[in-house]
Amino acid sequence: MNSNWPFAPATLAQKLIARAAGRSQVKPGEIVTCKVDLAMFHDSGGPRRLQPMLAELGATIWDKRKVVLVIDHYVPEADAASRQIVRIAREFAAAQGLPHVYDSQGICHVVVPQHGHIRPGMFCVGGDSHSPTGGAFGAFMFGIGATEMLGVVVRGEIWLKVPQTIFMDWRGRLAEGVTAKDMVLHMLGQHGMNGGQYGALEFCGEAVTALSMAERMTLCNMSAELGAQAGLIAPDATTAGWLHGHGAASFQTQPWHSDSGAAGSRHSFDAARLAPQVARPHSPANVCAVDALPHTPIDIAYLGACTGAKLDDLEAAARVLAGRRIARGVQLLVAPASVREATSARGQIVLAQLVEAGASVLPSSCGACAGYGSRIAEGATVVSSTARNFKGRMGADTAQVYLGSPYTVAASALRGAICDARELL
What pLDDT, on a 0 to 100 scale, did the predictor assign at position 2?
Answer: 45
What pLDDT, on a 0 to 100 scale, did the predictor assign at position 397?
Answer: 93
**Alpha-helical segments (H) within 192-310:** 206-209, 213-221, 237-245
Q: Where do the structural domains in the chain lie, given as residue ranges?
A: 12-252+261-269, 276-423
Read off the pLDDT of residues 332-375 as tens digits, 9 standing for 90 and up.
999 999 999 999 999 999 999 999 999 999 999 998 998 876 67
CB atoms within 10 A of CB 296: 16
Residues with Cβ within 8 Å of residue 52, at least 6 apart in sequence: none
CB atoms within 10 A of CB 229: 23
Q: What's the start-to-end Cα distance of the chain, in Å?
A: 47
CATH for the 12-252+261-269 domain, from 3.40.50.2300, 3.30.499.10, 3.30.70.890, 3.60.130.10? 3.30.499.10
What pLDDT, on a 0 to 100 scale, did the predictor assign at position 341?
Answer: 97
DSSP class of 335: E
Low-confidence ranges of the chain (pLDDT < 50): 1-5
Measured in residues, the chain has a length of 425
CB atoms within 10 A of CB 147: 10
**Nearest residue to 406 via CA among 343, 321, 317, 300:** 317
What pLDDT, on a 0 to 100 scale, did the predictor assign at position 3?
Answer: 46
Fold of 276-423: Aconitase; domain 3 (3.30.499)
Q: In whole angstroms, how far apart are CA 419 and each of 201, 278, 298, 310, 407?
A: 30, 10, 10, 22, 10
Q: Cα dihedral angle (178, 400, 330, 417), rounded to 10 degrees?
A: 50
Q: DSSP labels for 126-140?
A: ESSTTGGGGGGGT-E
CB atoms within 10 A of CB 51: 16
Q: In whole angstroms, how far apart are CA 55 and each of 38, 52, 300, 403?
A: 22, 5, 44, 42
Confirm whether 12-252+261-269 and 276-423 share one CATH topology.
yes
Contact 329, 413 (CB under 8 A): no
Cα–Cα distance between 281 and 13 in angstroms, integer?
33
What pLDDT, on a 0 to 100 scale, did the predictor assign at position 6?
Answer: 58
